[in-house]
Amino acid sequence: MSLQVVMGYGPAGAATARLLAEQGHSVRVVTRSGRDPEPGIEHIALDAADRERLTAAARGAAAIHHCAAPPYHQWVHAWPHLVSSACAAAEETGAVLVMLGNLYGYGPVDGPLTEALPLAASGPKGRVRAAGWEQVRSLHEQGRIRAVEVRASDFFGPGVTDGGHLAGRVVPALLRGRPVSALGDPDAPHSWTYLPDVAAAMAEVAVEERAWGRPWHVPTRPARSVREMADLLAAGAGTGPATVRRIPPAALGLAGLFSPLMRELKEIRYQFDRPFVVDSSAYEAAFAVRATPVDEQVKATLDWWRDRRATVGRPR
């Protein structure tokens, strides 16, 4: 098998690295702080925005998986440097660059999100993510690198603890028997991309030459509202019917005075105030990875949170 480099070790980077190691690859993970080695995974401490050091770390790699993400409120400043560094490393080493993207670049749209939509975001975070892919795509079309992007909706699943996501907000509350606080309309259909499916897609497109040069949506199950997902999770957890309450807009505005994250969420409120539905049929027609059945997603997520509670205490 081959050497695979993974930039970043958040939920997506960790899931991708571990899956690649399970598949028999040698995996090298690049983060600022580094970590102790894991079976099949080498951790290196370096700033991925340092193109010379990243290139050195990627020597001999078959693929570079860009899963790194700066703090949310630093995207506009930091994201371009990470993308440029990844492109330079891919060009110098010949490794396939696999970008983990999101859906911000489309901006608000009517109807399902497909890869054919223009990148028409008007907000700064959406524009910077769109510009990053356009840079990568241009280099690919020039023949300077080989690249592909997989785009996911909000992550859900084992390992996802971010308070802005379904698993981070809903599951801890349900396991404590508390009401769920929802951003936006709790009854608006919303697509949730299961984290292990993200990792599987990242691994698959890295070796599928016909995937390169364009974006793909990670296989994602049909959209369900926050209330519907909360009911499924509550049923799986055995905690009774879920109580879902919308966070008042005024409360969000007040929280934004003290929290950089809450301030930044203003740009993407449209994703939660109206239907936000991903169409992943193009990927499913071309490749093997399929979205995990929802009942398996729910069980694995609840099991992970129960194990976490047992080992590190009750989540706050």
- From residue 261, how far is each of 209, 269, 291, 292 by CA, in Å? 38, 12, 29, 30
CB 79 within 8 A of CB 132: yes
Residues of the chain with CATH 3.40.50.720: 3-153+194-217
- Residue 165 pLDDT: 65
The CATH class of the 155-191+222-277+292-312 domain is: alpha beta
- Residue 33 pLDDT: 94
CATH code of 3-153+194-217, in short, is 3.40.50.720
- Residue 137 pLDDT: 98
Residues of the chain with CATH 3.90.25.10: 155-191+222-277+292-312
- Residue 129 pLDDT: 97
- Residue 312 pLDDT: 65
- Residue 181 pLDDT: 86
Per-residue pLDDT of the chain (316 residues; tens, 9 = 90+): 899 999 999 999 999 999 999 999 999 999 999 999 999 999 999 999 999 999 999 999 999 999 999 988 899 999 999 999 999 999 999 999 999 999 999 999 999 999 999 999 999 999 999 999 999 999 999 999 999 999 999 999 999 987 556 777 788 888 888 899 888 899 999 999 999 999 999 999 999 999 999 999 999 999 999 999 999 999 999 988 899 988 877 776 666 666 666 667 778 889 999 999 999 999 999 999 999 999 999 999 999 999 987 776 554 4
Q: How far does Cα 15 stand from its chain's mean position?
A: 10
Q: For 42, what's the count of Cα atoms within 13 Å in the CB-facing half-sphere? A: 11
